[in-house]
Structure 1
Amino acid sequence: MHHIQCGLAANPALSSELVDRLISIADDDIATGLACRADLSRAQAIALTERVGESAVQLAYEGRLTAADIDPSVRPDAALALLDQEVGRPEWARLLAADPVRERREKLAPCPGLPSDVVDTLAADPEVRVVAELALWTTPDVATRLATHPHAEVRRAVAGNEATSPATLAALLAGEGLPAARRCLVCDREQTPFVHDRQCPRLDCDLLPGASCDGSHESTVHAMLEAALRNPATPVEAVVGFVDHPSMLLRWALATRQDLPQQACARLASDPTPGIRADLAENPAIDDALIRTLSDDRDPDVRRRLAHHPRVPLDVLTHLARTTRTGATLLPRIAASSPAEVEELAKSPDPAARMLVAQRRDLPPETRNRLVDDPDTKVVKALAPHPGLTETQLRAMVHRHGVSVLAKVATNPDAPPALLEDLVRHEPPVQKVFREVARHRRATDSALLVCLADKRARPIAAGHPALPPPVIEDLLTDADWQVVEAAAANPSLPAAVTADLVCRQ
């Protein structure tokens, strides 16, 4: 019965009276479904909180509870959720800043708009993780103050805070103008020199693999440098000197910066680490010359990421599409193509170019209709989900290209019910078709009954409102709990059945 109740909790057709009944018997799992209901009233949200206290946090984030509904001494985590959304009360922050549970103070630290006295309290917290969390999210003036904190972990957090002033970030990178850090998480608990075993067997150990300290807090300092290099607020003149740094991770941190001069980008383009070149390939900062250089990179991931660059020239993109798997997604450069470029791509003799433009879902009718008759299967497969295609056109695709396009045709929002019925009975069958038809809004009961025979499509089909009510009721006893929950959440489950299931408790 538990999976049935969890499904019923999410059933949009459930009456308010039955929701009340479910609230009265809810556990954590049922409460999760109830808290997501769009029709949950404030009174029901309060009742659910009283029944399952842990649901208060979710309800707060869902906007179902207000400050008037929460006592922070009873529901501190819900109070934190409201403070995180800036709809809590200042006195709550003062109460929680003194909470004996470190994790709560740690959750309070990143909340926006905290009173200044609460910020001061958190900045002086005896637990360094609380101070570090504050440093990561606080205002520029507090970040500048915490940059001189004696603990290296706090400075690492300051380096990652995008509100930290450029001057402070530059000082952290250069290591100038700031007193030396005296502690880190490693030397807090281990005798130095110490290197943390990457296969550490201690279950209570939370040091990062490879964390080390010889008195200079080197692993934390390295992490601080990496955070500052990734921080877009760090001045570019402070970061360019790291382009040839011996640390791969520090060089990698530069690859996504959009303010790098082209000379620095060119150095990274020849980096021996493929991941660095791949991140650079997607960086909008690189110019056309570097784009063309990277298009011949030996690493396929570099070329794939380059295809996602927003300014990649169309001829380069077409070349990449011929030699690299770009994925079945609309690429940014194709999405931004002008009408003239769309037409040029659609008329290209290169099927790779036609396939790229076929991923668009706003093609002019004449362009779309011309691509329907394309001889290349990859082009037709990309086009098949395009809205506006007629049943005749979709059936012609299936007739000419067979199983290669079946699943994509099944995703077309305008696919008529009769076609969907034929797709699930196609020989040979295509397993993905069953899942696509099972979630299609126009699927018929007969098509869904076929989908139920497929193990992966069965839970999806069980929740489809077009499924006959007697079948939905039978699925409530299915061996697969996912099927049971989906059936119980199906809005076409007869009202009398839902009432009986809820009231049976």
Structure 2
Amino acid sequence: MHHVLYGLAVNPALSPGQVGRLMSMADEEIATRLAGRADLGHEQAVALAAHSADSAVLLAHEGRLTSADIDPGHRPEAALALLDRGTGSVEWARHFAADPVRERREKLAACPGLPSDVVDTLAADPDVQVVAELAYWTTPDNAARLAAHPHAEVRRAVAGNEATPAATLAALVTGDGLPPARHCLVCDRGETPLVHDPRRPRLDGDLPSGASCDGSHESTVQGLLLAALGNPATPVEAVLGCADHPSVLVRRTLAARPDLPRQVSVRLAADPDPGVRAALAENPATDKALIHTLADDPDPEVRRGLARHPRVPLTVLTVLARTTRTGHTPLPRVTTASPVEVDQLARSPEPTTRMLVALRRDLPPETRDRLADDPDAKVAKAVAPHPGLTETRLRAMVDRHGVHVLAGVAANPDASPALLEDLVRHVPAPQRMLREVARHDSATAPALLACLTDRRARLMAAGHPALPPPVIADLLTDTDWQVVEAAAANPSLPPAVTAALLALPHRG
């Protein structure tokens, strides 16, 4: 029964009175789902917030409650959500800065626009996690101040803050001008050297696997370096030495920086780790000469990365497509191809090249239709979901290529109800095709009934408003709870069934 109520809570066909009835019987899960309803009035939102703490937080985050609606003593998490939106009271901030619950102080530390006295209180908090949270979100001046904090965890947070001044980020990487850190989360736990067993995901709740400290706070320092490398505000000159860092993860992060100088790119192109070379291959900073070098890389991960480079020459990309799986989404270089280039790709004698451009969904009509008539199944499959294809052409694709294009045709937004009904009668009927039909806006009752035979398609069909109401009602007793929820959320659920369900006594 609970899953029925969970589905009903998001059913858009419920009347205001029925929403109120659900509110009166709501547990936290039902209340949370009710909080997401677009038709929830302000009075209902206030009543729901009083009923459920989790819902109060959601409603506050979405701006559906004001500071006048919230008592911070009764709903502290919702008050913090309003502070996070910048609409809470300054006095609330001062109150939470001294809250005995660490998690609340930590949430406060991430809020924008905090008054200076609150920032000072949080910066001196006895719990380093609170200070680190402040360091990650605070203003440039405060970040620069916290960069000299004695705890390495706070410094790591400063390194990840994009508001941190460039000079401060450089100092964190090099250590110049900063006193050495005296603590880290690892040595806080006991005598050094201490290494956390990588087979255990967490130690004391907050140490990642592999965390270690021999007195130099090495794992936290490496985390600081990774944060700085990933921070676009960090001057690239400060991190160039990382090209020879012993950590593969550090070198991979460096290789992805879009401001990488060529001499460093050349060095990374010869890195023994294919992940480093793959990151470099995808990097927009990688120039044409290096692109040609990486195109001959023996590792497919590198070639896949190169295929995603936004400026890879089309001549290189077409060669890559013959030997490398490039996925089912348009590649950046193909997406930005000029009309002339699109036409050239579509007329290529290589089916893999034609397939690359067939994945676009903004092709000129003549190009789209030519690719739909392509004799190669993988090209036709790629273009099949393209809007604008006529029913005649879609049916011709099915006749020509059969099972290979069924899912793509079913995904076409212009597929007619009659065509979808014919597709589900195909033998064999691929599961992916049934799932595309089940989510299609034009799917009819006969087509959706056929989709009920597949487990995942059944879930999608259960929520489709074209499914016959009696079938929707029957699905309320399905063995799959997800199907039950989808059916209960279906706006075509018979009103009498909805009324009867809400009239039943609620058994918590």
Partner of 2:397: 397
- 1:464 pairs with 2:464: yes
Q: Which amino acid aligns with 1:26?
A: A
Partner of 1:34: 34
Partner of 1:122: 122
CA deviation after TM superposition for structure 1 residue 200, in Å:
4.0
- 1:319 pairs with 2:319: yes
CA deviation after TM superposition for structure 1 residue 51, in Å:
1.7
From the superposition, tell whether residues 346 and 200 of structure 1 become closer, same or farther in structure 2 (CA, over 3 Å). Answer: closer
- 1:269 pairs with 2:269: yes
CA deviation after TM superposition for structure 1 residue 16, in Å:
0.7
Separation in structure 2 between the aligned mates of residue 100 and residue 257 of structure 1, nearest angstrom: 41
- Cα displacement string for residues 33-57 of structure 1 (whole angstroms, at most 9, x for unaligned residues): 2111110111111111122222111
Q: Which amino acid aligns with 1:264?
A: V
User: Matched residue of 2:477: which SS?
Assistant: coil
State the number of aligned residues.
Answer: 505
Contact 2:201/2:209 (<8 A) preserved: no
- 1:424 pairs with 2:403: no
User: Pairwise mapping of residues 212-361 of structure 1 onto structure 2 (< 5 A)?
Assistant: 212-361=212-361
Q: Which runs of 5+ in 2 are unaligned?
A: none
Q: Aligned-residue CA RMSD in angstroms?
A: 1.4
- Cα displacement string for residues 399-435 of structure 1 (whole angstroms, at most 9, x for unaligned residues): 1111111111110001111111111111112111111
Partner of 1:490: 490
TM-score by length of 2: 0.97
CA deviation after TM superposition for structure 1 residue 62, in Å:
2.4
Partner of 1:447: 447
User: Matched residue of 2:189: which SS?
Assistant: coil
Partner of 1:83: 83
Partner of 2:93: 93
Separation in structure 2 between the aligned mates of residue 208 and residue 53 of structure 1, nearest angstrom: 30
User: Matched residue of 2:170: which SS?
Assistant: helix
TM-score by length of 1: 0.97
Partner of 1:14: 14
Partner of 1:502: 502
Separation in structure 2 between the aligned mates of residue 128 and residue 499 of structure 1, nearest angstrom: 53
Partner of 2:362: 362
User: Pairwise mapping of residues 87-166 of structure 1 onto structure 2 (< 5 A)?
Assistant: 87-166=87-166
Partner of 1:479: 479
From the superposition, tell whether residues 202 and 425 of structure 1 become closer, same or farther in structure 2 (CA, over 3 Å). Answer: closer
User: Matched residue of 1:63: which SS?
Assistant: coil
Q: Which amino acid aligns with 1:390?
A: T
Contact 1:35/1:62 (<8 A) preserved: no
Identical aligned residues as a percent: 72
CA deviation after TM superposition for structure 1 residue 96, in Å:
0.8
Q: Which amino acid aligns with 1:212?
A: S
CA deviation after TM superposition for structure 1 residue 478, in Å:
1.6
Separation in structure 1 between the aligned mates of residue 121 and residue 329 of structure 2, nearest angstrom: 49
Q: Which amino acid aligns with 1:214?
A: D
| Between 289-298 and 124-133, the greater mean CA deviation after superposition | 289-298
Q: Which amino acid aligns with 1:79?
A: A
Q: Which amino acid aligns with 1:442?
A: S
User: Matched residue of 1:216: which SS?
Assistant: coil
- Cα displacement string for residues 260-319 of structure 1 (whole angstroms, at most 9, x for unaligned residues): 111111111111111111111111111111112112211112111221111111111111
| Between 474-483 and 462-471, the greater mean CA deviation after superposition | 474-483
Q: Which amino acid aligns with 2:458?
A: R
User: Matched residue of 1:120: which SS?
Assistant: helix
Q: Which amino acid aligns with 1:56?
A: A
Q: Which amino acid aligns with 1:224?
A: L
| Between 35-44 and 247-256, the greater mean CA deviation after superposition | 247-256
Q: Which amino acid aligns with 1:229?
A: L
Separation in structure 1 between the aligned mates of residue 199 and residue 339 of structure 2, nearest angstrom: 56
Contact 1:409/1:415 (<8 A) preserved: yes
Contact 1:410/1:420 (<8 A) preserved: yes
CA deviation after TM superposition for structure 1 residue 178, in Å:
1.0
From the superposition, tell whether residues 200 and 444 of structure 1 become closer, same or farther in structure 2 (CA, over 3 Å). Answer: closer
From the superposition, tell whether residues 500 and 201 of structure 1 become closer, same or farther in structure 2 (CA, over 3 Å). Answer: closer
- Cα displacement string for residues 71-100 of structure 1 (whole angstroms, at most 9, x for unaligned residues): 111111111111112122211111111111
CA deviation after TM superposition for structure 1 residue 120, in Å:
0.5
Q: Which runs of 5+ in 1 are unaligned?
A: none
User: Matched residue of 2:492: which SS?
Assistant: coil
CA deviation after TM superposition for structure 1 residue 203, in Å:
6.7
Separation in structure 2 between the aligned mates of residue 178 and residue 381 of structure 1, nearest angstrom: 59
Contact 1:36/1:62 (<8 A) preserved: no
Separation in structure 1 between the aligned mates of residue 376 and residue 300 of structure 2, nearest angstrom: 24
Q: Which amino acid aligns with 1:431?
A: Q
Separation in structure 1 between the aligned mates of residue 289 and residue 21 of structure 2, nearest angstrom: 67
Separation in structure 2 between the aligned mates of residue 249 and residue 483 of structure 1, nearest angstrom: 42
CA deviation after TM superposition for structure 1 residue 222, in Å:
2.0
From the superposition, tell whether residues 419 and 294 of structure 1 become closer, same or farther in structure 2 (CA, over 3 Å). Answer: same
Separation in structure 1 between the aligned mates of residue 363 and residue 198 of structure 2, nearest angstrom: 53
Contact 1:96/1:108 (<8 A) preserved: yes
- 1:408 pairs with 2:408: yes
Q: Which amino acid aligns with 1:40?
A: L
Partner of 1:47: 47
User: Pairwise mapping of residues 52-63 of structure 1 onto structure 2 (< 5 A)?
Assistant: 52-63=52-63
Separation in structure 2 between the aligned mates of residue 400 and residue 201 of structure 1, nearest angstrom: 53
Q: Which amino acid aligns with 1:329?
A: T
- Cα displacement string for residues 138-185 of structure 1 (whole angstroms, at most 9, x for unaligned residues): 111111111111111111111111111111111111111111111111
